[in-house]
Structure 1
Amino acid sequence: MKISSKAFEHEGAMPAKYTCDGDEVSPPLHIEGIPEGTITMALIAEDPDAPKGTFDHWLVWNIDPVPDIAEGGRPGISGKNGAGKTGYHGACPPNGSHRYFFYLFALDTDLDLPAGASRQELQDAMQGHIIGQGSLMGTYQRN
């Protein structure tokens, strides 16, 4: 699967709109090559450059297998992000430039997880059900 965004290029700078310095809305995502047999999709957005280890910015599952996730959208059920809340948490690096990865997984099932589930619970539930995946990476540095 290929993931892209009309808001920024792969490995390019994310506009402030999608960060703590802007509107803190999730960026629009476009998906190509969703595998046949996909029942739902799951998304993990993370910052591996965070000072205390990888910070989860967005965990979402049971996303309909559609080619577009709208800007600021709530496409499925949200898990607990690194701030301890559900929903999208915008990029907000404390220093330097950080990388933000959006990993999308095509699944052959619905996931039976409650809202607010952890990343580990999401990864455990996806085990054995991933039939395709793709990623998009953007960078952000605060001024």
Structure 2
Amino acid sequence: MKKGFQGVLALGGLMLAGCAPAQMGSMGGMGAGRLDVAQPATSVGAGSLTLSSAQFVNGGTLGQEQVGSGNGCTGQNVSPSLSWSGAPAGTVSYVLTTYDPDAPTGSGFWHWITYNIPASATSLPKGAGAGGAGLPAGAVLANNDGGTPGYTGACPPPGDKPHRYIFTLYALNKTLALPQGASPAFVGFNLNGAALAKTSITAFYGR
């Protein structure tokens, strides 16, 4: 019985190891190495870190300028300006994400991810999510869930209740070394254990 039980444990360990995500190679393929990811802290609060936008108030409605311009949507697809303050001691870089948890995908939809924003930065100008224009030196646009780098505007299905668009700023204790075209999930894995603080604001949009 003892040997049989040990065999079951060993098999279970191999199965769990097989579920760990493989690291993407520089060409976007799957490499042989596994992610070496620190586990997230038990709780990461905002502390004194705050985030705001000149284009919307927290809990308000996203403007047409920030709405997508395809799939029946007639917005301008321009990322909003964002400003922040109150970074904790030890901040080396920031990551900004925009996420719609209400998208009918089963896993939400990531609209915008910018990482390695330098610690000296306190804002992003309007339109910084388009091709990197206005981004601070060193900042990188990751792919959104549409498969392109930068910002893609809100465009929920007609008739849905207004979706939430959550803009989150993370203060990290390091910069992220990621392959070009990193996916939102890959960026997310590498955020684990590096966040000193995070804060969010939310805008709503429906059609």
The interval holding the TM-score normalised by the smaller chain is: over 0.9
Displacement, 1:64? 1.7
Match of 2:113 in 1: 59
**Contact kept? 2:145, 2:183, Cα under 8 Å:** no
Match of 2:53 in 1: 5
CA distance, structure 1, for counterparts of residue 85 and residue 96 of structure 2:
15
Output aligned runs, 1:1-143, within 5 Å: 1-20=49-68, 21-53=74-106, 54-65=108-119, 66-73=121-128, 74=132, 75=135, 76-95=139-158, 96=160, 97-142=162-207
Displacement, 1:22? 2.1
Give TM-score, length-normalised by structure 2.
0.66
Displacement, 1:36? 1.9
CA distance, structure 2, for counterparts of residue 115 and residue 137 of structure 1:
28
Unaligned runs of at least 5 residues, structure 1: none
Larger gyration radius, structure 1 or structure 2: 2
Displacement, 1:115? 2.6
* CA RMSD, Structure 1 to Structure 2 (Å): 1.2
- Counterpart secondary structure, 1:26: coil
Aligned pairs, number: 142
Question: If each structure's helix is expressed as a fraction of its own residues, which one has the higher value?
Answer: 2
Percent identical residues: 37
* Runs of 4+ residues deviating >2 angstroms: none
Structure with the bigger RCO (C-alpha within 8 Å, sep 6+) is: 1
